[in-house]
Amino acid sequence: MTKPVETIQRVTDRIIARSEATRAAYLANMAAARAKGPARAHLSCSGQAHAYAASGSDKDRLAATSAGNLGIVTAYNDMLSAHQPFERYPDLIRAAAREVGGTAQVAGGVPAMCDGVTQGEAGMELSLFSRDVIALAASVALSHNTFDAVVFLGVCDKIVPGLVIAAQAFGHLPAVFMPAGPMESGLPNHDKAKVRQQFAAGECGRDALMAAEMAAYHGPGTCTFYGTANTNQMLMEFMGLHLPGASFVPPNTELRDALTREGAKRALGLSALGNDYTPVCDILDERAFVNGIVGLNATGGSTNLLIHLVSMARAGGIILDWQDFSDLSDVTPLLARIYPNGLADVNHFHAAGGLGYLIGELLKAGLLHSDTQTVAGQGLEHYTQDPCYAQGKLSWRKGSGQSLNEKIVRPAHDPFQPTGGLKRLTGSLGTAVMKVSAVAPEHQAVEAPVRVFHGQDEVKAAFKVGELTGDVIVVVRFQGPKANGMPELHSLTPLLSILQGRGQKVALVTDGRMSGASGKVPAAIHVSPEAVDGGPIAQLQDGDLLRVDAVTGALDILTLDVTDRPAVTADLSANAVGTGRELFAAFRNSVSAATAGASIFGG
């Protein structure tokens, strides 16, 4: 039997071999950019004057190109709790840069939308595409070529992946990613989910639902469940782009501010002007991405990262596929239970030992590449330490080395389950993925007739009139990236949970996405080929039998001759207008398949 450590190396070697040509071309481009030296030296006097005109007391330092100019790319807005804390960051960063003789300027802003606000709305059809918009906007910000290093301020679902894509486009520059931290714990996520189910079943009114939601989302900071936003933060530590222990420190605290100031200084210290030059292209290699995938599996993270990590990697010439994720999941123990995979939120997880403990356990088990380059220095061992702030000084100390609550995080030799939280499914319906970490074993294989829908509103209508009786696999098609931007269908979770709670065997199959917070109902998502491309999902009819099996990895049509039928087409004209969708036609027309990252940057 192959040992887990051998599988880690085998998958890594496979990725390196698959990416040999594209990675070499990318690194050659970065070497060429690096060879040009500090960017500002090549600007005309007029160009520099334009760039420095509003810099006040920093003008002389900027003109002298002394200790470096730090670009700030920010996803700040004050509508979203996760990004509101960034309002204070530029002043903290400028002051920190001046302390080491450098300067800092806000290079530009990027959009930051919330999948929670747009869930079930037309705006959700722009959500996935916003990742590539963010990458483009960040690249525009950095295109002035006046910066020696960058700090990226972002948290949520598409923001961090988009910023990582841009960071790799400017991969000759060092970069430090800075989070805002989670909001304080409010109404427990499990209690909030109960109220949502009660509302979906007509057992409580909107006033009770609103009160529960406001008690859960109640202050500045990231939502506290372990969805895509907090999965992003985990990845930035596993992949070496955060300062150690930075992910889950609350906003507007002394420690959070100290980490922000130190991040700015560290970014400048890694520039080509000093002796510790560490560009992004040297950090984000194949081993870093394997570490990220292991972290994703060990924590039961968001399925959205099966799309985002593929796209992020390709920006650096690294080609991942879903089999890599599945093979690594097979040998990665699940070490964390954070809602929706458990009752704890990320604050409880952090207090119980958090990422420092978890990374330490995986390193001891040989399941991570320990020798990767990071913004904290050589080696992932740095990320087993905890930051602390005392007497006006930031420092790092050795982590506890043991779980402080084994109901939340467990040692590698005694995990919650021996394999990770993600599963690739393949069969006559195509390829899909499933998050299994929150799905009970008895629900991980479902064989049932299908009900086919062309949108989530149709599913809700059928549920409301009591049509979804008996065992059923709900198929929602024409939700892929080419059809309508691949929206999340998380608003279906409460009603599908009700059906499952009644004793029905239930599953969801879709070429769309589910939220990173999706939980106990088995969902085969990201089905490829998608319906608009004539995939087998477009040939299904009500009553056809499907088998969705996360145990064996099967996604099979059991009814004979289904694939001999003509593929159904759908009127998608409504997807093209309203809420800005008119402006995204070029994205829908050029986007790659979900298996290739659902990106406009090529598949």
pLDDT in tens, 196-240: 888 777 888 888 877 877 777 778 999 888 989 999 999 999 999
User: How many CB atoms sit inside 10 A of residue 313's CB?
Assistant: 27
Domain ranges of the chain: 4-184+219-398, 422-574
Query: Angle 200-204-206 (CA atoms, 0-180°, nearest 5)?
Result: 80
| Residue pLDDT, tens place only, 295-336 | 999 999 998 999 999 999 999 999 999 999 999 999 999 999
Comparing 324 with 55, the larger pLDDT belongs to 324
Q: Which two tokens stand for residue 91?
A: 């002043």
| Residue pLDDT, tens place only, 510-537 | 999 987 556 689 999 999 999 999 999 9
Task: Say if residue 223 carries a ligand binding annotation.
Answer: yes
- The top-level CATH class assigned to 422-574 is alpha beta
Element (H, E) at 200: helix 189-200
pLDDT tier for residue 585 given thresholds of 50, 70 and 90: very high
Instruction: Please give the average per-residue pLDDT across 429-445, as a whole number.
Output: 91
Element (H, E) at 549: strand 545-549
* 100/103 Cα distance (integer angstroms): 9
Helices 322-331 and 286-299: crossing angle, nearest 10°?
60
* 426/336 Cα distance (integer angstroms): 27
Maximum Cα–Cα distance for the chain, whole Å? Answer: 76
515 backbone φψ class: left, alpha, beta (φ>0; ψ -120 to 50): beta
- What Å distances lie between residue 349 and 343, 407, 596, CA to CA? 10, 10, 32
For the chain, how many helices (H) and strands (E)?
22, 16
Instruction: Please give the average per-residue pLDDT across 465-487, as a whole number.
Output: 96
DSSP state of 184: P
Please give the full DSSP string across 280-294, using - where no structure is assigned: HHHHSSHHHHHHHHH
Check whether 105 has a pLDDT greater than 80.
yes
Q: Which two tokens stand for residue 38?
A: 């500090």
Size (the chain), residues: 603
Q: Return the amino acid letter for 418.
A: P
Q: Positive or negative CA dihedral for 483, 485, 486, 489?
A: negative
Task: Say if residue 156 carries a ligand binding annotation.
Answer: yes
* 43/117 Cα distance (integer angstroms): 43
pTM of the model: 0.94
Q: Mean pLDDT score of the chain, rounded to an integer?
A: 92
pLDDT computed for residue 282 by the predictor: 98
Query: Angle 566-569-571 (CA atoms, 0-180°, nearest 5)?
Result: 165
Please give the full DSSP string across 496-529, using - where no structure is assigned: HHHHHHTT--EEEEESSB--TT--SS-EEEEEES
Check whether 360 has a pLDDT greater than 60.
yes
pLDDT tier for residue 254 given thresholds of 50, 70 and 90: very high
| Residue pLDDT, tens place only, 504-515 | 999 999 999 987
* 39/172 Cα distance (integer angstroms): 11
